[in-house]
Chains A and B, each alone.
Chain A
Amino acid sequence: MKRCSYIKTILILALIFPMLIMSGCIDNIEVDEMVYVVAMGIDEGTNENLRITLLMAVPIAVGVGPEPGEVDEATNSITVEAPTILGGISVVNSMISKKVNFSHAKLIVISRQLAENGIERFMNTFMRYREFRPDTYIGISIDSAGEVLKSLNPVLEINPSKHIELLMEAYQYTGFSSGTTIGEFYSRMECTCNEAVAILLGSSQIENEKDIENMFSMTSNTGGVIMEGDYEATDMPVIYESKGRQMGTAVFIKDKMVGELTGLETNYYLMVSGQIGAINYTLPEPNKKAYVPYSNYVSIRLTQARKPEINVKIEDENPVIRIKVSLEGDILSITGKEDYSMGEKLTELENYASDYIREEVLSFLVKTRDELKSDICATGKSIKKKFLYWDDWVSFNWPKRYEKADFNVELSVKIRRSGVMVKNINVDGVFGSEEK
């Protein structure tokens, strides 16, 4: 009986397997039969078409190919115009030898122009089509997305995907961008208490020192020093072989882009939304006015001490948003002559830093309220928790209320340690007498 059963099983399998193998294997595709898109850029094309630029990895230049280094360029870009993304891909497929695959795409760049008109139509493709992954980064380019992609050529790397991936993750130690992924963007786009952001990208035109001087002469209307990061992607005072730039954040309402944050403002955004990693923050020396020429600075490495607490209360129909941010940091460098690493001076520095950053955070929040009208810091989450029914919440209409919100920011900075030095001997003060 038992033996018989196996013979039967084997017979059934023997009958069915050839059938399966003949009709199966359809999805079987070799690794080298596909080309892997590293990044994709979408621009507005002619006649309402989309201009799609694909940045494709060239494996033989990257991997352990038979003759490494045979191919110089690790990436290859191709631009196509089509009404839809996937339509464009079909066109591309018809002309290149390999099949385009998005499963390893790292970055999708959409031009600002398109973003301002709403990008829901793209997001749908990215979420619905299986090859796009939710952990792909999404960026908005200030100028042409195609240009950005072409200028994102790796210099320190040979592997373009690693290059982009590491670049996008850099926000964790710079705080100048938000590291938004498609999945996150989509979720926030559809959220009722939160607005979406995206990475702000651009390609730089600066070739040499002169260009930097020109740029500053055009923008320096404040008259003082521009703190690092206080600019957007295109106008960074940087000379570098690779022209792609990442700085700042694109702010959305629903799926439409409404404005930008500079790199420095992005720092504050990350602080309030609790995403900040460990950043180097430059503080003008206490008791001296900021933006004074030849001012001294204290550099602090800031991290988040506790998750920010956000509380929303409704007072007179208008929400009052109470935000409590706790930061902690190490002193990295002090350019001035005062030693802030111990004693009362340390407390002074802490208080000063708290006040200084609080002011900055407040002005950033006011900007999101008044200028952008977009609750990107997800302050609505706390009020959402106070609702019991969905219908009530929807009719409450948080985004409209945010425009009338008042902010009440508490911010504390604790300096935990002062680098490898515990105190600083002032060169002028060694002999003590000169001051007299």
Chain B
Amino acid sequence: MKNIASYLKNILLFKPANNKKPFMLDESSGKQTSNKESSEEKSSHKSSEEEKTQQDDKPSPGDKSQEDDKSSSVNNFSEEDKSSSEDKSSEEEQSSSGDKSSEEDKLSESKLSKNQASNEKTDENSEDVEGVSENYTGSKKSDRKKYRKKGIIRPIPIKDSEILKNKDDRKAQKNYDGQDTRISKSMRTCLEVMKQRYSADINGDFKIREFKVQVKDKAYDAFVCFFDGLTNTSIINSSILVPMMTMSIMPIDTEEQSVKEIIYNHLIPQNQITICKTYQEVVDGVNFGGIGIFVDTLDVAFAGDVKGWEHRSVEKPETELNIRGPRESFNETCRVNSALLRKTLKDENLIVEDVLVGVRSKTPCSIVYIKNIANKKLVDEVRKRLKSIKIAYLRDSGELESLLEDDTFLPAPQMLLTERPDRVASYLSEGRVAIIVHGSPFVIVVPITLFNLIHSPEDDYLRFPYSTLLRMVRIFGTMITLFLPATYLAITTYHHEMVPTDLLLAIASSREKVPFPTIISLLMMEISFELIREAGVRIPGPIGSTLSIVGALILGQAAVSANLVSPILIIIVAVTGLGSFAIPDFSLGYSLRALRFCYIFLAYFAGLIGITFGIFLHLLFLVDAKSFGVPFFVPFAPRSKGRRKNTVIRLPIWAQEYRPDFLNPKDIKQQPSISRGWVKSEKGVKADGRESKNR
């Protein structure tokens, strides 16, 4: 548990603390300067926009929002630009920025930050701004509409605009470097802003603690804010409040240091502290289980990581069961997942690159790859796709999967979602890329081929003859799922001569009292099987087993004795069901179960010819598909170089000398051609030169 707790502390929004660089902004400063050029170039736009907003502010917030629409459409360009420079600091962790996608990414965020800006305006000196700020947090049109309605009901505080007009403070700040959400020096203002942003009077779990810090014999007002339940209060007490309130009295040689540095360097003995210049940074931290520390007279705030929310511990995998091999599974916490991977791989080249996805949710996602194995282009492609995603809330990797996949309509998954760290680790070591999504126990692996979907994690841990056999069984199961009902239908309605006579007579006699055509009874049974399956998943545990008995035994038996279906059909449906459970990949299983019905209809229409027709189209679509640039049927179609040692069959582990060729890894060779040093190198001569006795 201790380990996990410490992993938890390594949260996003933050790079591991570096002693040499206490200020996180150092890294971004260079970027900012580079961005300055662009911001300067567009400064004319900006100023014009400022004027506009000022003008807009005059009449009423309601009108302003209307104007917002217009201005956003008119001044899209300038807005984008502005936002990009604004958000740079908050997103500095995202190592590579400035490429097109990330800028586009911010386009949608721009509105948000703008609203924040206006919030600040209103907050600073008015008590009567609740309504305004509340509504301003919304960026979507619907929200605005709501606001508009409210705006009509509410009396419009005219003085707001007047106050705003007179805000020199704000203007000065703006002129400083164009960021109007910078933290105010006045602790009171900050307090107001934070209260405002978190609606502290309504939000029950948002806590603010005010206190005093003594630095250089002077007491400064300060407060911390955090979410109760999301944070570990004992850490807050011991690592933040106690030192700040008590240690400041201790004599330290701090004459040459500024207040800010003293507090950062001496008074907060917490391992992850960020210095934030904007409210947004603090807010992002606090939202994700951090603590915001504001001290009067400082133009920065500190965001500390004190995560301590309740979460599942690392448990056994539930969907990918195995007999051999490790039994840990991912859970819903991003850092735990990355830690599990690190624990498995133990490689300093393993890169866990953080990306925030979700305009509002800012869900932390991590791109995981091994630096000197994974192809750079692949990593770039993953990063590009991930950063380009604009979605309000991202909750699960399943959502991310459908946002990232190459082809939405393809009847097969194009990524592998797994909850097993060992599996992800083995894919990473081949040069693939994994994506961890905070809040989802499933990690996405890209790119994959069809053959990865029929592999089970256990394959690697079993001796090779068994695992090859198991794969054959699984492929057989896949084929059965897809084709057995259709083939049965085709044979019994088109190709009677194909059935051995004895069996045919048996089928004919069993059908004698069945009133429905084969296809109807087949569909009936298939659909009821799907029903049982779906109901079995949804029904609470204890009842579930009852249901399966009811479904499997009684329903089948009753259907036969009621002459609704023939007994042979029950066997067909049951075997099909069994086959579908043998498909290791959940998503592929869904796809095949759905396609089974297509094949049934095709078989009904033209027998085996129909099925072949289906196979042809199915194959065409599958071979045309790509998963992150890797054709779906590689290495068979197109045939890639290198031997196919781990596809349909799996050769012994010592024979798998090369990583998959189609991934173009930086290092193709996995192990030397003789990976077992003890083995005989020549005939009868062992590797160490001794002669074999059995020569």
Chain A residues packing against B (C-beta within 8 Å): 2-3, 6, 10, 20-21, 24-25, 27-32, 34, 36, 57, 59-66, 101, 103-104, 106, 131, 133, 159, 161-162, 165
Given contacts A25-B604, A28-B604, contact A65 B509 (CB under 8 A): yes
Expressed in whole angstroms, the Cα–Cα distance for A21 and B496 within the complex equals 21
Q: How far apart sit A66 and B513, CA to CA, in the bound complex (Å)?
A: 8
Once the chains are docked, how many angstroms separate the CA of A53 from the CA of B297? 113
| Nearest neighbor of A98 in chain B, beta-carbon distance | B508
Per the bound structure, the CA–CA distance linking A432 and B299 in Å amounts to 133
Q: Is B493 an interface residue when CB atoms closer than 8 A count as contact?
A: yes
| B residues in contact with A133, CB < 8 Å | 497
Q: CB of B383 within 8 A of chain A?
A: no
* CB-defined contacts of B512 to chain A, threshold 8 Å: 32, 59-60, 65-66
Cα distance A36–B504 in the bound complex, in angstroms = 9
Contact, CB under 8 Å: A66 / B563? yes
A159 vs B563: C-alpha distance when bound (angstroms): 23
Establish whether residues B518 and A30, one from each chain, have CB atoms under 8 Å apart when the complex forms.
Answer: yes
> Chain B: residues with CB nearer than 8 A to chain A?
406-409, 492-494, 496-497, 501-502, 504-514, 517-518, 563, 567, 601, 604-607
Alpha-carbon distance A2/B408, docked complex (angstroms): 10
Majority SS of interface residues in chain B?
helix
Contact B407 A32 (CB under 8 A): no
Q: Is the CB of A161 within 8 A of B511?
A: no
Whether B494 and A64, one on each chain, are in contact in the complex, defined by CB atoms closer than 8 angstroms, is: no
Chain B residues lying within 8 Å of A25, measured Cβ to Cβ, are 604-606
CA distance A62 to B506 in the complex (A): 7
Report the 4 A-B pairs with minimum CB-CB distance, sorted nearest first. A63-B509, A103-B497, A63-B506, A59-B509
Q: Which residues on the B side are within 8 Å of A65 (C-beta)? A: 509-510, 512-513
Task: Supply 15 further A-B pairs (C-beta < 8 A) apart from A6-B409, A30-B493, A30-B518.
Answer: A27-B607, A28-B604, A29-B494, A31-B492, A31-B511, A32-B511, A57-B505, A59-B512, A60-B512, A62-B506, A63-B506, A64-B509, A64-B510, A101-B496, A103-B497
In the complex the two chains form, what is the Cα distance from A39 to B160 in whole Å?
Answer: 102
What residue in chain A is nearest B568 (Cβ atoms)?
A64
| Cβ–Cβ contact A161 & B509, under 8 A | no
Of A24, A25, A32, A131, most buried by chain B (CB within 10 Å of CB) is: A32
Bound Cα distance from A64 to B571, whole angstroms: 14
Q: Decide if B605 touches A20 in the complex (CB within 8 Å).
A: yes
Measured CB to CB, the closest approach of chain B to A199, in angstroms, equals: 19
Check if B505 sits within 8 Å of A59, measured CB to CB. Answer: yes
- Least CB distance from B572 to A in Å reads 13
Contacts of B605 in A (CB 8 A): 20-21, 24-25
For A162, what are the chain B residues with a Cβ–Cβ distance below 8 Å?
501-502
Determine if B508 and A32 form an interchain contact, defined as CB atoms under 8 angstroms apart: yes
B567 near A64: Cβ-Cβ < 8 Å = yes
Whole-angstrom distance between the alpha carbons of A62 and B607 in the complex?
Answer: 26
Q: How far is the CA of A17 from the CA of B518 in the complex (A)?
A: 20
> Which residues of B are found within 8 Å of A165, using beta-carbon distances?
501
Does A36 lie within 8 Å of B505, measured CB to CB? yes
Given A28-B604, A59-B512, A103-B496, verify A64-B563 contact (CB < 8 Å): no
Compute how far the CA of A21 lies from the CA of B604 in the bound complex, rounded to whole angstroms.
9
CB-CB under 8 A from B517, the residues of chain A are 30
Once the chains are docked, how many angstroms separate the CA of A2 from the CA of B407?
A: 8
CB distance from A299 to the nearest CB of B (A): 34
- Residues of chain B with a CB closer than 8 A to A3's CB: 407-409
| Chain B residue nearest in CB terms to A34 | B496
Measured between beta carbons, the chain B residues less than 8 angstroms from A104 are 496-497, 501, 504
Contacts of B492 in A (CB 8 A): 30-31
Taking the nearest CB of chain B, how far is it from the CB of A93, in angstroms?
Answer: 16
Cβ contacts under 8 Å, A20 to chain B: 605-606
Contact B501–A31 (Cβ < 8 Å): no
Contact status A62-B408, CB under 8 Å: no
Could you tell me if B604 and A62 are in contact, using CB atoms closer than 8 angstroms?
no
Residue from the set B408, B508, B606 with the largest chain A CB neighbour count within 10 Å: B508
Which of the residues A2, A27, A59 comes within 8 Å of B508, measured between beta carbons? A59
A89 to B98: give the CA distance in the assembly, Å. 82
What's the nearest-Cβ distance from chain B to residue A245, in Å?
A: 23
Given that A64-B567, A104-B501 are known contacts, is A28 also in contact with B494, CB under 8 Å in the complex? Answer: yes
B335 to chain A, nearest CB (A): 36
Contact B509 A62 (CB under 8 A): yes
Which residue from chain B places its CB closest to the CB of A57 in the assembled complex?
A: B505
CB-CB nearest in chain A for B603 = A28
Report A-chain residues with C-beta under 8 Å of the C-beta of B601: 21
Q: A59 contacts which chain B residues (CB < 8 A)?
A: 505-506, 508-509, 512
CB distance from B291 to the nearest CB of A (A): 46
Does A31 lie within 8 Å of B407, measured CB to CB?
no
* Residues of the A chain whose Cβ atoms lie less than 8 Å from the Cβ of B497: 103-104, 131, 133
CB neighbours of A101 from chain B (8 A): 496
- Residue of B with least CB distance to A10: B409
Q: A2-B407, A3-B408, A104-B501 are in contact. Are A36 and B494 (CB under 8 A)?
A: no
Give the distance to chain B from A243, nearest Cβ to Cβ, in Å: 23
Q: When the two chains form their complex, are residues A161 and B505 in contact, meaning their CB atoms are under 8 A apart?
A: yes
A101 to B501, CA, bound (A): 12
Interface centre among A21, A64, A161 (most CB of B within 10 A): A64
A418–B158 Cα distance when bound, in Å, is 123
A197 to B123, CA, bound (A): 109
Which single residue of chain B is at the shortest CB-CB distance from A20? B605
| Complex Cα spacing A101 to B495, Å | 12
Chain A residues, Cβ within 8 Å of B502: 62, 159, 161-162
Nearest Cβ distance between residue B107 and chain A, in whole angstroms? 22
Contacts of B409 in A (CB 8 A): 3, 6, 10
Closest-CB distance, A272 to chain B (whole angstroms): 33
> A21 contacts which chain B residues (CB < 8 A)?
601, 605
- Given A27-B494, A31-B492: A161 and B501 interface contact (C-beta under 8 Å): yes
- CB nearest neighbor in A for B497: A103
Nearest B residue to A65, CB-CB: B509
B604 touches A64 (CB 8 A): no
Complex Cα distance A61/B407, Å? 54
Residues of A within 8 Å of B509, CB to CB, are 32, 59-65
Contacts of A61 in B (CB 8 A): 509
Residues of B within 8 A of A10 (CB): 409
A62–B511 alpha-carbon span in the complex (Å): 13
Contacts of B506 in A (CB 8 A): 59, 62-64
Min CB distance, B410 to chain A, in Å?
A: 8
CA distance A28 to B509 in the complex (A): 18
B210 to chain A: closest CB distance in Å? 55
Whole-angstrom CA separation of A21 from B510 in the bound complex: 27
Shortest CB-to-CB span from A334 to chain B, Å, is: 41
Complex Cα spacing A29 to B493, Å: 5
Q: Are B505 and A63 in contact (CB under 8 A)?
A: yes
CB proximity of A294 to chain B, nearest CB, Å: 47
